[in-house]
Chains A and B, each alone.
Chain A
């Protein structure tokens, strides 16, 4: 049971549902991939992709503000500091 509101700007509900389900599945898969990938640099790249997926999810959840933060933080800033950390750690291993 869904109580939907209607506005002149409403995307057709069926289309929105399909979009949301698709992105949710992608996000779930992305989270699983991030956890299961054990090679650090690859994992950071996966995290970056996961950040973009989350950002898209927030967009279809009608949260553009959070989308922007998730892109700037989750997909860019965090991977950068993670890669810097890995660079430091790998360098000392050599």
Chain B
């Protein structure tokens, strides 16, 4: 199809689809009238059952923890897939790993940027760690924390060079950390099986009172592993793309 034809066909089709979709949406109870029961039952049970006050984390890591296993492995698989697709191929040479390479089209980082980035790295790490460790209490969790921790390494890149970034996160090590994160989550789940409990059951003591950082058993532990996996996955993906941009020179056409 030519672009014009496509536009016409799509215009007609999307009008139909939109009408159809709106017809379905009009059957919903109005906005603000969530009918339950799923969410309300969880709100009722969660604090009592898990000692977590962050109910979303309780759902993510406990009631629907199995979804999160799948989700972590989606990210894990995507990182592996990115590594496969962007691997250094025959005929491609790695350019000498100096950032100031001749055809580098990014201007060298200014001193001010380096300074700011360095200043920010510490606080960012702290925030990432805090987010990862407070899943059970506050609006936070391993996922957000992991991304923030990965951002800290990107700041290291801004402050220094790719070489430093690479030294901080050698691929094999990051791979291993990522696998530890994803595998650790699945393994915590499996550990329930010899105890005669269902997969992913919360078998750790729940702690003294709801809302404490040390409360709610496996939720905190799972959040930690999710943080590892997510952080490592983002570092891997960013690293692969950085390597493509800065180091790889194309040999074949």
Contacts and interface: CB of A to CB of B under 8 A. Distances in A.
A and B touch in the complex (CB under 8 A): yes
Interface of A: 1-4, 63-65, 67-69, 72-73, 76-77, 80-81, 84-85, 87-88, 90-92, 94
Nearest to B33: A3
A4 B140 CA distance: 27
Contacts of B54: 65
A90 B143 contact: no
A69 B30 contact: no
B56 A77 contact: no
A72 B139 contact: no
A92 B246 CA distance: 11
B144 A87 contact: no
Considering the complex of A and B, which 10 residue pairs feature the smallest CB-CB distances, nearest first?
A64-B139, A72-B147, A84-B241, A68-B144, A88-B245, A65-B139, A65-B56, A87-B245, A88-B244, A2-B32
B154 interface: yes
A91 B245 contact: yes
A29 to B, nearest CB: 18
B217 interface: no
Interface in B20-55: 30-33, 54
Contacts of B151: 72, 76-77
5 contacts: A2-B33, A65-B57, A65-B144, A77-B150, A88-B245
Interface in B118-148: 131, 139-141, 143-144, 147-148
B77 interface: no
B22 to A, nearest CB: 14
B68 interface: no
Contacts of B150: 77
Given A64-B139, A69-B143, A88 B241 contact: yes
A63 to B, nearest CB: 8
B238 interface: yes
A87 B139 contact: no
A69 B242 CA distance: 23
A5 B139 CA distance: 22
